Amino acid sequence: MSRKQALSMYLLGTFGQVLGVSLLVCLLRVGGVKVDFTSPMGIIAVIVGGLSSALWGSLASISYHQSSFKQVLKDFFQVKDSLANYCLVLVFLLLDFFPFILGGKITTQSLVLPVVLFFKALLFGGIEEIGWRYFFQPTLEERIPYLSATVITFLAWSSWHLFYFYIDGSLAVIQLLPFLVGLLTNCFILSALYHKTKNLWICVMTHALINSLSQLSSTESVWLSLVIKVLIILLAMRIASSSIEKAKS
């Protein structure tokens, strides 16, 4: 399978699946059926729609790289890695949540909830990395520069999220601009981590940690948050560029 065919397969499959589920959910809601996280039909829709990027990322990767589902699964759970790589994840997390550390609020007192949210975020968030970081962006970068590939991945990933948020019922309440700024920052964080570590699990874990920690914390320092996000993006670009140069040498 050629590069263009693999990318087309991924995009058409991913967006076709999530769009199809969105249309079905729309018809059900028009018909008076409750479709959200509190209903069996809603949970099924969220799972089927949410798995689209992981499913088609796996299929495209297997076809394009002549790999196997066993290899994708092995890469997904490649927990063993260097302490330096895990420390890099910690650096990004500390930077990302620095405004909260300075003066934010913890929105729960439960010790169990963070663990529950993390494992939920692995299934409804982290698993997306199979599509976007494991297959899509690296395949784009075979022909275009890192920065362009990251922006294109952001545009596709954010569009996919809008359909997903419609399915889970959160589209009407989400603050779109802050979400997009955060998603762009995450694109740079996760792409830099993948360039540096070549480890899918590192991206999966980081994605899940960002999602779960975001649900447990809040901060009112908007300007500080924006400044930090710019610094994160610059750091991520530097790390990715260094990794790319090292791979070429």
Structure tokens at 213: 């920690």
Asked whether residue 240 is domain-assigned, the answer is yes
Question: Residues 6 or more apart from 161 whose CB is under 8 A from it?
Answer: 179, 183
Can you tell me the distance from the alpha carbon of 47 to that of 189, in angstroms, rounded to the nearest whole number? 25
Confidence (pTM): 0.93
Per-residue pLDDT of the chain in tens (249 residues, 90 and over written 9): 899 999 999 999 999 999 999 999 999 999 998 888 888 999 999 999 999 999 999 999 999 999 999 999 999 999 999 999 999 999 999 999 988 888 766 766 666 777 888 888 888 889 999 999 999 999 999 999 999 999 999 999 999 999 999 999 888 889 899 999 999 999 999 999 999 999 999 999 999 999 998 887 776 678 888 999 999 999 999 999 999 998 887
* CA neighbours closer than 13 Å in the CB half-sphere of residue 24: 16
Q: Check residue 124 and give its pLDDT.
A: 85
- The domain of 126 spans 72-244
pLDDT at 172: 86
Decide if 182 is inside a domain: yes
Residue 117 counted as domain residue: yes
- Residue 54 covered by a domain: no
- Per-residue pLDDT reduced to its tens digit, 105-162: 676 666 677 788 888 888 888 999 999 999 999 999 999 999 999 999 999 999 999 9
Measuring CA to CA, how many Å separate 181 from each of 49, 68, 154? 23, 35, 10
CA distance 134 to 204: 10
Q: Which residues contact 243 (CB under 8 A, 6 or more apart)?
A: 192, 195, 196
* Residue type, position 233, single letter: I
Q: Look at residue 40 and tell me if it is in a domain.
A: no
The domain total for the chain is 1
Nearest to 237 by CA among 201, 197, 202, 190: 190
| CA–CA gap between residue 96 and residue 214 (Å, rounded) | 10
129 located within any domain:
yes
Is the separation of the CB atoms in 72 and 130 below 8 Å?
A: yes
